[in-house]
A = this chain, B = another copy of it.
Amino acid sequence: MLCLRKGAWRKKADLKKNLIQRLRTATGHLAAVEGMVEGEQYCIDILKQIAAVQASLSKVAYALADSHMKHCVRDAIEAGKGEPKVDELLETLKYLKHF
């Protein structure tokens, strides 16, 4: 997972814990947004909370892309097979809201 390099296990455990924590918080945040709609709160306040969740998800995506480039793409490049990995990453970034 997260295509970490050998010898990077401690770093991997930290990243994994950090991502899970952030995703759990974002999931709770999103459930609270559902409660705001249920409770018929003001649209602008709901939109602001959606924006906050989107910002959290962008940070998670950023951390994942960072780790992916530093490990998986790096390994592929060192094995002389970097181009398809770069294509794959850039293609994926197209569909992500910018970081």
A residues in contact (CB < 8 Å) with B: 1-3, 16, 19-20, 23-24, 26-27, 30-31, 33-34, 37-44, 46-48, 50-51, 53-55, 57-58, 60-62, 64-70, 72-74, 77-78, 82-83, 86-90, 92-99
B90/A64 in contact, CB under 8 A: no
Chain B residue nearest to A67 (CB atoms) is: B43
- Identical chains in the assembly: 4
A80 CB, min distance to chain B CBs, angstroms: 10
Q: A86-B66, A90-B69 are in contact. Are A50 and B43 (CB under 8 A)?
A: no
Contacts of A24 in B (CB 8 A): 34
Task: Compute how far the CA of A55 lies from the CA of B58 in the bound complex, rounded to whole angstroms.
Answer: 12
